[in-house]
Amino acid sequence: MGSAVADRAQAMVRPRPTPLKRVAVPTTLLGEIVLVALLAVTVATSWRDGFPTDQLPDLAAPVTADLPQVTGNNLSGKPDWWGSKPVVNPARAAQPYMPTAPPVQLLIPQLDVHRAVEMVGVDESGTLQLPVNAWNAGWYRWGPVPGAPGDAVIEGHAGYPKQPMIFGGLAKLQPGAKIVVVLADGTRQLFLVSSMTSVPAGTSPAGLGSFSGKPRLTLVTCTGHFDKKNYWYSDRLLLQATYAGLA
């Protein structure tokens, strides 16, 4: 009977389950798994319609917002602005204005000139091309934009004797007369007449159309002796104007 009781007690004892073995995951493999998971999330969130690239903000533009800073002496574990007045960065120096839009209109109030401006280049011989519309002005497109550093050049027809055109009265302007160039971005660049000179046709003075120096404007037209047979002027009138800021 003692043996029977012992056998019954042995049968009632449940065998312990075999303990699970811990599978060791190499560190490198774990890192790869995490990277794959992050990459999957990135791809899933990237393949969606967004703004065209030309509508995205300019990431290269300077940051003008004043952001709070965290100093290294804060031992509380909270940012310095937590429950206190923010620490503000000093204001950044204002960047100088630099126009880049091409000119679209020329205004000379004293001569009642308000004409469109076309972009022109030079022909094979290096001669400045003429505007398609003879009553418009022509801006030398390979030179500076009016208001940017350098000498912006705009030409216009003088017309014929007793038949003046857009720049027919240019020689009448006195120093200080206002000239306004409207750019495609809507800004109005103001220039003041400073001097006037004439050069033989076919010649170009030094610095004409240069990108160096302070912003300035040169208006070019015909002057001098008029050849009635060939409808040709002997000289070119160059009016120089200094930049006076936005009008």
* Model pLDDT for residues 94-150, shown as the tens digit of each residue: 667 789 999 999 999 999 999 999 999 998 888 889 999 999 999 999 999 999 999
Q: Is residue 90 part of a domain?
A: no
Q: Is residue 228 part of a domain?
A: yes
Whether the Cβ atoms of residue 55 and residue 49 lie closer than 8 Å to each other:
no
What is the predicted pLDDT for the residue at 76?
44
How far is CA 50 from each of CA 40, 43, 54, rounded to the nearest angstrom? 19, 14, 11
Cα–Cα dist 104/146, whole Å: 11
Q: Is residue 12 part of a domain?
A: no
Number of H helices, E strands in the chain: 2, 10
pLDDT digits (tens, 9 = 90+) for 36-82: 333 333 333 332 333 233 333 333 334 344 434 444 444 444 444 34
Q: Is residue 168 part of a domain?
A: yes
91 pLDDT band, cuts 50/70/90, is low
What is the predicted pLDDT for the residue at 89?
56
- Conformation bin of residue 7: beta by default, left when phi > 0, alpha when psi is -120 to 50: alpha
Q: Is residue 75 part of a domain?
A: no
- What is the CA angle 28-30-33, rounded to 5? 110
Q: Is residue 16 part of a domain?
A: no
Taking all residues of the chain, what is their mean pLDDT, rounded to a whole number? 75
Specify the CATH number for the domain of residue 220: 2.40.260.10
> Residue type at 140?
Y
Asked if residue 85 has pLDDT above 60, the reply is no
Whether the Cβ atoms of residue 189 and residue 146 lie closer than 8 Å to each other:
yes
Closest Cα to residue 209, out of 116, 141, 156? Answer: 141
Spatial CB neighbours of 174, under 8 Å, sequence gap ≥ 6: 193
Its domain, for residue 107, covers 103-246
Q: Is residue 89 part of a domain?
A: no
Considering its fold, how many domains does the chain have in total? 1
Asked if residue 2 has pLDDT above 60, the reply is no
Q: Is residue 95 part of a domain?
A: no
Where is pLDDT greater, at 18 or 157? 157
How far is CA 131 from each of CA 166, 197, 211, 213, rounded to the nearest angstrom? 12, 23, 23, 27
Closest Cα to residue 184, out of 108, 119, 114, 126? Answer: 119
